[in-house]
A and B are shown apart, each in its own frame.
Chain A
């Protein structure tokens, strides 16, 4: 007899589990080797605690009441629960603090291969280490993790979360218009973006062209120079931040796999400064991402800079398998 399970969830059988476990252990070993201690937090949290970290917890697909009538939610990522954990249990501790995890999280996505409603994420959080050195350390760990997974062709996109917020403020775009423009940018709908910007009063053709061009700039250092040539304070500040991050990465010798991307926008509300996305040529979907969230801990009463990343375990596994014919993949 067949008994159903909810959409977007799945069973894992021994052959797959064996490979996932091997991958999991290889990743945790990389984290531990670099001084990141593994933590675990409850899968269910109070909804208001999660909402404190990211107002848009609409992402979390599952909410329910407990016997006391309190609203609970399944976590939609690990960054917010760890921010909560650090604020509650490590207040006054010596910084920086290095934590890692492999945990399941839950989101209301349309289920498809490698994109489930319940999924495993492996990642690290570096608390109390400011940009750009902290960012560079996180990128270094990320690269070592990708290497350990055998994904030597994977590329890390590096962008700036504050670029468009500041640019739109500079252009005087506020309120609903600002949300609409950011929405088009996040979806990378260039046709809609041009329409949206052109319809705004006080925005000239030249400024529209600048925004459009900016969102398409990606590559090496030259992308920063091209961005700078477009002018404006917001662009100047963002390219300066990105330049500093790049220098820190170069100093650590981990800049080779990094691609600067001025069009990058993460859809989680807590990011600030550097943001990261991870791609592998064998997969049409993003492998994971991260970045800085210097304002997140403060929402929990502990004002500390922080950065981290998370990789989707199942997607990394799919990429490994797709890379195998090339002699890549496999746990090193």
Chain B
């Protein structure tokens, strides 16, 4: 458990990486100056528009927000689903960062189907083991989920797995690696989340920020 000081400015966890640019655009739209974050600074913490912006990996956002080290945060639905046991309040679908979680296999290759039919289970490489496991369980199929940290596309190409479960935005990476989408699992967008105690004790500030973010969606 960490600190969620009611004193001082509200702390917002900002995801670096794929969601960074659009998150900053959304913050600009509600009147928070993000010039400093867009610059070359190596700092992780910035003050702007009366709140503290803390930059971090998207997958760390639920951790910081659950503990109350950040009061609110922005991260992808893919991250929230993968860390479904983290207790954070999901307040708003921000609409940007749209991408799909898919099952993909090699083009013109029946490895997925063949493994399922003859061996009783498919081998699936993914960075999202829990989401993948849930998807196959809920569709009544058995899989061996292999968690990898780096380029998942590699796994089916050299025989580690029959297919992959991964996040796809444009589909170019799949295309370049001779892979194709076999199933759509779900669609993900960026979400605005809040710490449970901050949502109660800093209600006015959290509500105001939520309302502003909702307005700029329209």
In the assembled complex, the Cα of A57 lies from the Cα of B76 at a distance in Å of 33
The A228-263 residues at the B interface (CB cut-off 8 A) are 259, 261
Instruction: Find out whether the CB atom of A191 lies under 8 angstroms from the CB atom of B67.
Output: no
**Please, how many residues of chain B have a CB less than 8 angstroms from a CB on the other chain?**
28
Neighbour of B1 across the interface among A187, A189, A259, A284, CB < 8 A: A284
Complex partner residue of B90 from A190, A277, A280, A284, CB under 8 angstroms: A190
Cα–Cα distance between A81 and B200 once the two chains are bound (Å): 31
The answer to whether A281 and B4 touch (CB under 8 A), given A188-B90, A218-B200, is yes
Query: Using Cβ atoms and an 8 Å threshold, which residues of chain B touch A284?
Result: 1-4, 66-69, 195-198
Alpha-carbon separation in the docked complex, A318 to B1 (Å): 8
The answer to whether B1 touches A286, judged by C-beta atoms less than 8 angstroms apart, is: no
B47 at the interface (CB under 8 A from A): no
* A153 contacts B85, C-beta separation under 8 Å: no
State whether the Cβ of A49 lies closer than 8 Å to any Cβ in chain B: no
Chain A: CB-nearest residue to B80 = A189
Which residue of chain B lies nearest to A315 when distances are taken between CB atoms in the complex? Answer: B1
- Given A113-B1, A279-B197, the answer on whether A190 and B92 have CB atoms closer than 8 Å is yes
Q: B36 contacts the other chain (Cβ, under 8 Å)? A: no
**Dominant secondary structure at the A interface:** mixed
A113 to chain B: which residues have CB within 8 Å?
A: 1-2, 67
The closest CB in chain A to the CB of B85 belongs to A110
Is there a chain A Cβ closer than 8 Å to B5's Cβ? yes
Q: Is B91 an interface residue (CB 8 A)?
A: yes
State A279–B6 Cα separation when bound (angstroms): 11
Which residues of chain B have C-beta atoms less than 8 A from A279's C-beta?
197, 200-201
Asked whether B199 lies within 8 Å of A188 as measured between CB atoms, the reply is yes
Cα–Cα, bound, A279→B2 (Å): 13
Our pick among A110, A155, A188, A219 for the contact of B89 (Cβ within 8 Å) is A188
Chain B residue contacts of A189, Cβ below 8 A: 89-90
Known contacts A259-B203, A283-B197; 10 additional CB pairs below 8 A are A110-B85, A113-B1, A188-B89, A190-B92, A218-B203, A219-B203, A281-B4, A282-B4, A283-B2, A284-B2
Q: Could you tell me which A residues sit within 8 Å of B by CB distance?
A: 110, 112-115, 153, 155, 157, 187-192, 216, 218-219, 259, 261, 277, 279-286, 315, 318, 322
Chosen A-B contacts, 16 in total, with CB atoms closer than 8 Å, are: A112-B67, A114-B1, A115-B1, A188-B89, A190-B89, A218-B203, A219-B203, A281-B4, A281-B5, A283-B68, A283-B197, A284-B196, A285-B67, A286-B197, A315-B1, A318-B1
